[in-house]
Amino acid sequence: MVYEAAAESSKMEGIEIIYDGECPFCSRYVMMTRLRDTVGRVRLVDARSNDPVVSKIKELGFDLNEGMVARYRGQNYFGADCIHLLSILSSKSGTLNRLSSTLFSNRYIATISYPVLRAGRNATLRIMGSRPIG
């Protein structure tokens, strides 16, 4: 998919990111990405909340224990596709944004690294005593 061409026309639509608010890595990552410059409105939704979009995402079959979801231009991007999309759309300002963009804008790297990142997330949440997302 071509994300770059869509970025300018989507500023009015914005993006919605459904992520695990208890996960320190997920929370930092979504806060770190600088999307407002490229997509406009950014709505962050904690997957552990009672927000209606969480129920909708679950009804669509996405397991929020296995990855975050970005809703952008009428499409849902899950897991590795989500971080790939966010890295392409995110501003390149700041060292961490440049690093993330460099790594995850490559679909292959995003795809092979996502299971490792998810395993680290799951281990951290177990150590913290967090329950799976319901």
| pLDDT score of 24 | 87
pTM above 0.85, yes or no: no
| pLDDT score of 12 | 54
| pLDDT score of 127 | 94
Q: What are the chain's domains?
A: 4-128 (3.40.30)
Of 37, 105, 111, 108, the closest CA to residue 67 belongs to 111
Burial class (CB in 10 A: 0-12, 13-18, 19+), 50: exposed
Q: What is the mean pLDDT of each run of 10 residues along the chain (134 residues)?
A: 45 83 84 76 93 96 95 96 91 74 89 94 93 89
CA 111 to chain centre: 13
| pLDDT score of 11 | 52
